Structure 1
Amino acid sequence: MSGSTAAEAAAILKEEVDIVIPTIRNVDFLEKWRPFFQPYHLIIVQDGDPSKPIKVPPRFNYHLYNRNDVNRLLGPRAHCISFKDSSCRCFGFLLSKKKYIFTIDDDCFVAKDPSGKEINALEQHLKNLLSPSTPFFFNTLYDPYREGTDFVRGYPFSLREGVPTAASHGLWLNMPDYDGPTQLVKPLERNNRYVDAVMTIPKGTLFPMCGMNLAFNRELIGPAMYFGLMGEGQPIGRYDGMWAGWCMKVISDHLGLGVKTGLPYIWHSKASSPFVNLKKEYKGIYWQEELIPFFQSVSLPKECTTAQKCYIELSKQVKAKLGKVDEYFNKLADAMVTWIEAWEELNSSGEKSEALSNGPAK
């Protein structure tokens, strides 16, 4: 798909996109995004104290939800949505009825490319999602569907049609997405490098997904975008994006879908405390040495033909193989099943218009 065609398609898709934002504060940052976000519908998920008012700039089309809404809409299944953690964003994924989701954090602003032009991150994500991926053979000129590039000599013609793209993972200028230990040893490091590239992550390759600048096709992979049990009452935090990314990637590989990373960039304005981050992450840093080999060895049966079926099967393998690492993973495996139950309930034909009507619309 050419750049101009993709841009035109992106503009048409405004009725098929929800922007999901987790927050604990007023979302004044939206003013900076107004030229790009105002045509779209926003789902704002308030974390923390539900009695605290959240101010949204005027003239945005949005629904605002808090923990009371989670409890009311999910009832006994509400425990699968984390509290006091940005992983609460996946509640917005549950409620959306749109084909595409773009999720962004409230400390992320509009970046500029090397020419000084402001980057429309959502438009670039949609370009990525609307063009195929190439997970089975790496193209050394990266995404061959972008304007001004193509498949290089030696690329198999039988693979040039590509596969549908499930997810688009964007990057960050200024504050890179580092863990606590790396922040501690590199407190002044900033990412000033703008790399004008989009690439498909090869089949069989995992990656550390970050939820602060992420878009995905909800119809293709939405049920796998569960950000796990994090935050208050849990032994781990700041691994929500990684967990969702590992699950999503092995399921995408199994279903023959693609995942892209690279453009677009956003401006990440501030880094959280490395000491607080280390406290949240330390078990994850230890556990990931077993988690990554587990995901590298996951095999899903051919009977798993949908993201839901894949996710239920994956939950069984999590319980069987990771439950011995820590009891937390037995609890997480149960929450994965609960998440799919909630997904299927809220996305049944009788629930499609009910959920969004419960939040305050503006």
Structure 2
Amino acid sequence: MAQLSSSMEPMLKLRDELDIVIPTIRNLDLLETWRPFFEPYHLIIIQDGDPSKTIKVPEGFDYELYNRNDINRILGHKASCISFKDSACRCFGYMVSKKKYIYTIDDDCFVAKDPSGKDINVIEQHMKNLLTPSTPHFFNTLYDPFASGAEFVRGYPFSMREGVKTVVSHGLWLNTPDYDAPTKLVKPLERNTKYVDAVMTIPKGTLFSMCGMNLAFDRELIGPAMYFGLMGDKHPITGYDDMWAGWCAKVICDHMGWGVKTGLPYVWHKKASNRSENLKREYEGIFCQEVGVPFLQSVVLPKECTSVQQCYLELAKQVKDTLGQVDPYFIKLADGMVTWIEAWDDLNTPKGNQKLKHHKWLVSKRRSKLITKKKYGVVDGKSKRDAN
């Protein structure tokens, strides 16, 4: 294992409480750059695209790798709720994890440096965000009052200073900004070089653009709402999967009395996709956001909804009844939301856990075969070991 910094040692106590979820279509050589920070944790890799393709993962990492065939076997007909050819496939990793926390990152994001030149430990900062309260009911003009060297400003009500539970930590990006396709076309060379040393709570009643490329959340609390929707392959919308999850999750966080933070930590984003192709992919989503956001801003969840699952099913009903009249896509999306909750509940019961353990054993067995082939190779139908 790589040598760990002293600042990393306290976080090792969380190694059994956090999974890292990575969606990918390519070999994960980038993990070498993340080794000092990711190697202590378990990785759940969701392979997009052709399931017959072998994804290579550097040695030394503890991981499971699922492809489309695995998801079909595990979920059966409910696998229809998991999208492909879009980063939405990552949410299957949230479903099969059994940890309290999830950190998810895209396969085109690398370790960033702070202004002093030090590598940024994203796990450490995200956990700081999640383990300190949020203040969604009154905005603190010095950003996060729970950060080191910060405090509540004059005029902040003392009755609100206890804050609320933080369940989502939304990180940011240096280098390539998270712009939509039209903006990227008119600003192709724009890069973000500004490191802002700040974290803030997103106020109650305010939606935000959640990017899935550098994101952590409390799976035990908000996990069932982190559904990235029906997008990508065979669907008219793509590129808005994380946006949809963020809008829905924020509505539910507001209802449940939880907080969402955004700001630190940063990753270095090196966009791997094509700008023109992104415009084609995002075209329908741009129009749908103009009806989806106002609708979600107006949603009121009944007080009888006391669990995230109940909130999400109610939200799905309202999406179907209201947005379904605007575009039939939203009817399918609402059905997918219901199927997602059913699949989540199926896999998070004692019976579902036993079923999942068997499939995880099959995934582990396949990985062992790949490692053996890589180690010994094949000579005339025999392994090098046998040939010797």
- TM-score (norm. length: structure 2): 0.90
What is the CA deviation profile of residues 50-107 of structure 1, one whole-angstrom value per residue up to 9, with x for unaligned ones? 0000100001000010000110000010110001111000000000000000000011
SS of 2:173's equivalent in the other structure is strand
5+ residue gaps, structure 1, are 1-5
The residue that corresponds to 2:133 in the other structure is 132
Matches within 5 A, 1:25-44: 25-44=26-45
* Compared CA separation, residues 353 and 50, structure 1 to 2 (3 A): same
* Compared CA separation, residues 358 and 136, structure 1 to 2 (3 A): same
What is the CA deviation profile of residues 184-230 of structure 1, one whole-angstrom value per residue up to 9, with x for unaligned ones? 10010000000000000000000111000000000110000000011
The residue that corresponds to 2:215 in the other structure is 214
* Compared CA separation, residues 108 and 356, structure 1 to 2 (3 A): farther
* Compared CA separation, residues 57 and 137, structure 1 to 2 (3 A): same
User: What is the CA-CA distance between 1:354 and the residue it aligns to?
Assistant: 3.9
User: Does the 8 Å contact 2:198/2:263 carry over to 1?
Assistant: yes
SS of 1:189's equivalent in the other structure is coil
Looking at structure 2, the residues matched to 177 and 353 of structure 1 have their Cα atoms a distance apart, in angstroms, of 40
SS of 2:318's equivalent in the other structure is helix
User: Does the 8 Å contact 1:105/1:212 carry over to 2?
Assistant: yes
User: Does the 8 Å contact 1:7/1:127 carry over to 2?
Assistant: no
SS of 2:297's equivalent in the other structure is helix
Matches within 5 A, 1:116-265: 116-265=117-266
User: What is the CA-CA distance between 1:358 and the residue it aligns to?
Assistant: 1.9
Matches within 5 A, 1:51-70: 51-70=52-71
SS of 2:316's equivalent in the other structure is helix
Looking at structure 1, the residues matched to 17 and 331 of structure 2 have their Cα atoms a distance apart, in angstroms, of 36
The residue that corresponds to 1:274 in the other structure is 275
Looking at structure 1, the residues matched to 72 and 19 of structure 2 have their Cα atoms a distance apart, in angstroms, of 22
User: What is the CA-CA distance between 1:355 and the residue it aligns to?
Assistant: 1.8
The residue that corresponds to 1:325 in the other structure is 326
Structure 1: which amino acid aligns with 2:336?
A
SS of 1:129's equivalent in the other structure is helix
* Compared CA separation, residues 40 and 278, structure 1 to 2 (3 A): same
Structure 2: which amino acid aligns with 1:150?
E
Looking at structure 2, the residues matched to 62 and 271 of structure 1 have their Cα atoms a distance apart, in angstroms, of 23
User: Does the 8 Å contact 1:96/1:356 carry over to 2?
Assistant: no
The residue that corresponds to 2:96 in the other structure is 95
Looking at structure 2, the residues matched to 287 and 34 of structure 1 have their Cα atoms a distance apart, in angstroms, of 39
Are 2:116 and 1:115 aligned?
A: yes
SS of 2:237's equivalent in the other structure is coil
User: What is the CA-CA distance between 1:234 and the residue it aligns to?
Assistant: 0.3
- TM-score (norm. length: structure 1): 0.97
SS of 1:223's equivalent in the other structure is helix
User: Does the 8 Å contact 1:99/1:217 carry over to 2?
Assistant: yes
What is the CA deviation profile of residues 107-163 of structure 1, one whole-angstrom value per residue up to 9, with x for unaligned ones? 100000000000001110011001110000000111111111111111111111110
Instruction: Report percent identity of matched pairs.
Output: 71
User: What is the CA-CA distance between 1:270 and the residue it aligns to?
Assistant: 2.2
User: Does the 8 Å contact 1:81/1:90 carry over to 2?
Assistant: yes
User: Does the 8 Å contact 1:113/1:194 carry over to 2?
Assistant: yes
Looking at structure 1, the residues matched to 202 and 9 of structure 2 have their Cα atoms a distance apart, in angstroms, of 26
Looking at structure 1, the residues matched to 101 and 163 of structure 2 have their Cα atoms a distance apart, in angstroms, of 20
* Compared CA separation, residues 9 and 305, structure 1 to 2 (3 A): farther
User: What is the CA-CA distance between 1:10 and the residue it aligns to?
Assistant: 3.1
* Compared CA separation, residues 302 and 8, structure 1 to 2 (3 A): farther
User: What is the CA-CA distance between 1:8 and the residue it aligns to?
Assistant: 6.4
Structure 2: which amino acid aligns with 1:82?
S
Q: How many residues align?
A: 357
* Compared CA separation, residues 54 and 356, structure 1 to 2 (3 A): farther
Looking at structure 2, the residues matched to 189 and 55 of structure 1 have their Cα atoms a distance apart, in angstroms, of 32
Looking at structure 1, the residues matched to 93 and 352 of structure 2 have their Cα atoms a distance apart, in angstroms, of 15
Looking at structure 1, the residues matched to 61 and 296 of structure 2 have their Cα atoms a distance apart, in angstroms, of 40
Which structure has the larger Rg?
2
User: What is the CA-CA distance between 1:357 and the residue it aligns to?
Assistant: 4.7
User: What is the CA-CA distance between 1:269 and the residue it aligns to?
Assistant: 1.3
SS of 1:352's equivalent in the other structure is helix
* Compared CA separation, residues 10 and 52, structure 1 to 2 (3 A): same
User: What is the CA-CA distance between 1:267 and the residue it aligns to?
Assistant: 0.2
User: What is the CA-CA distance between 1:7 and the residue it aligns to?
Assistant: 7.0
Looking at structure 2, the residues matched to 151 and 276 of structure 1 have their Cα atoms a distance apart, in angstroms, of 46
Q: Which moved more, 1:139-148 or 1:247-256?
A: 139-148
Structure 1: which amino acid aligns with 2:156?
Y
The residue that corresponds to 1:3 in the other structure is none
The residue that corresponds to 2:14 in the other structure is 13
Looking at structure 1, the residues matched to 9 and 131 of structure 2 have their Cα atoms a distance apart, in angstroms, of 11
Looking at structure 1, the residues matched to 127 and 257 of structure 2 have their Cα atoms a distance apart, in angstroms, of 20
5+ residue gaps, structure 2, are 1-6, 368-388
Structure 2: which amino acid aligns with 1:284?
G
The residue that corresponds to 1:77 in the other structure is 78
Looking at structure 2, the residues matched to 67 and 119 of structure 1 have their Cα atoms a distance apart, in angstroms, of 33
Looking at structure 2, the residues matched to 267 and 357 of structure 1 have their Cα atoms a distance apart, in angstroms, of 37
SS of 2:325's equivalent in the other structure is coil
Structure 1: which amino acid aligns with 2:71?
V
SS of 2:93's equivalent in the other structure is helix
User: What is the CA-CA distance between 1:353 and the residue it aligns to?
Assistant: 4.9
Matches within 5 A, 1:282-301: 282-301=283-302
- RMSD value, Cα: 1.2
Structure 2: which amino acid aligns with 1:276?
E
